[in-house]
Structure 1
Amino acid sequence: MMRLFLAALYTALALGANAALAEGATGDVVSDAAGLREGDMKKLQLHDSPIDLPAAELVTLDDTPASLEDYRGKWVVLNFWATWCAPCRAEMPSLDRLQLAMPDIAVVPVATGRNEPVAISRFYAEAAITSLPILRDPKSALSSRMGVMALPVTVILNPEGQEVARLIGDAEWDSVTAQSVLSALMAGH
């Protein structure tokens, strides 16, 4: 019963948040990319102006400090996920394939909250994830500051490290549509 309640709450939050973000989307690049959205990408909300990211410390699997600043200068597909999140787990192989299909972008998953390093490693091995880094936000500092209320959430960052789009929920990130939308965003920058 509790799982059903949590699933309903997750769905309500995801739908409500995407609708709220949709109201602010306008602009030429946004219009170009927006016109390409089909299927899962209809959930992608494009912002009318870039949003600066809050500062936050991330760590690698072995607790070495890491930062999103390492990806400055590249387009980034930043994915917030957790080992216990079924939609996150289902989505991760498509993110891995996206990285292989579009090597000019950085696909950066961030395990948010309580995710044991052993569980992350086991999942990467089981799902045959080979192209993606392992970053963690163990205290959910970054995800909280960015308003991530449910998982998964994927945020598109421009080369300046600013948020230009957000998708709440899972998606097939290696689809032709997703790649077309990402390419349109990159071309308009």
Structure 2
Amino acid sequence: MKALKSALLYTGLAILANAAHAEADLEALKDGDMRKLVVASDPSPAPEVTFTAEDGTEATLADYAGKPVLLNFWATWCAPCRKEMPHLAALQDAMGDDIAVLTVATGRNPPEAIDRFFDEIGVTSLPKATDPRQEMARAFGVLGLPITVILDAEGREVARLQGDADWSSDSAQAILSAVAAD
């Protein structure tokens, strides 16, 4: 029994040490706009909520299991979102299949307005998912836009950034590469 308690104690300590190490690794990579990134000290599972995929079907984050996700909440009326979206597209292009950039228009964003938004800023490579009743945004505690949440391959929130950022920066790519490597 004593050996079992010791084994459990050391296993728990190892898990905590690894989580602290991962947090420190991400903190060390923060530069420029990424200094606004808040790294979770204890990553928690993302809420199990649905959103509407671009093709009109119901989707969940479980559809992305096994791959890190950069989840971006935005809206067509959001000026900082307009500035940020091309950086998100450049990040997806640079990182390819290593991560999934999931853009979710939350609230009232008619499909024609979303199409016009993407056309005006020249973005063609990002999904046009929606959260019309803001259920997903509420579940994630989104209080302003844009908000970007980084989920690891296990679907846990590892970091969050409020406001727009240059996601195509070397720092952002290094952070997401580190998340993908864990």
TM-score, normalising length from structure 2? 0.86
* 1:107-186 aligned within 5 A: 107-186=101-180
Gaps of 5+ in 1: 1-25
- d(CA) in 2 for partners of 1:100, 1:180: 14
1:108 is matched by which residue type in structure 2? L
Cα deviation for residue 62 of structure 1 reads 4.9
Q: Counterparts in 2 of 1:65-104, with a 5 A limit?
A: 65-103=58-96, 104=98
One-letter code aligned to 1:154: T
Distance 2:177 2:57 in 1: 32
Q: Looking at secondary structure, tell me which structure has more helix per residue.
A: 2
Q: 1:83 is matched by which residue type in structure 2?
A: T
RMSD after superposition: 1.3
2:16 corresponds to which residue?
A: none
1:166 deviates by: 0.3
- Is 1:37 the counterpart of 2:30? The answer is yes
- Runs of 4+ that moved beyond 6 A: none
Larger radius of gyration: 2
Partner of 1:48: 41
Cα deviation digits, residues 72-131 of structure 1 (max 9, x gap): 110110000000000011100000000000011000000011111110011111212121
Identity of aligned residues (%): 53
| Structure 2: gaps spanning 5 or more residues | 1-18
- Aligned pair count reads 163
C-alpha distance in 1 between matches for 2:80 and 2:60: 25
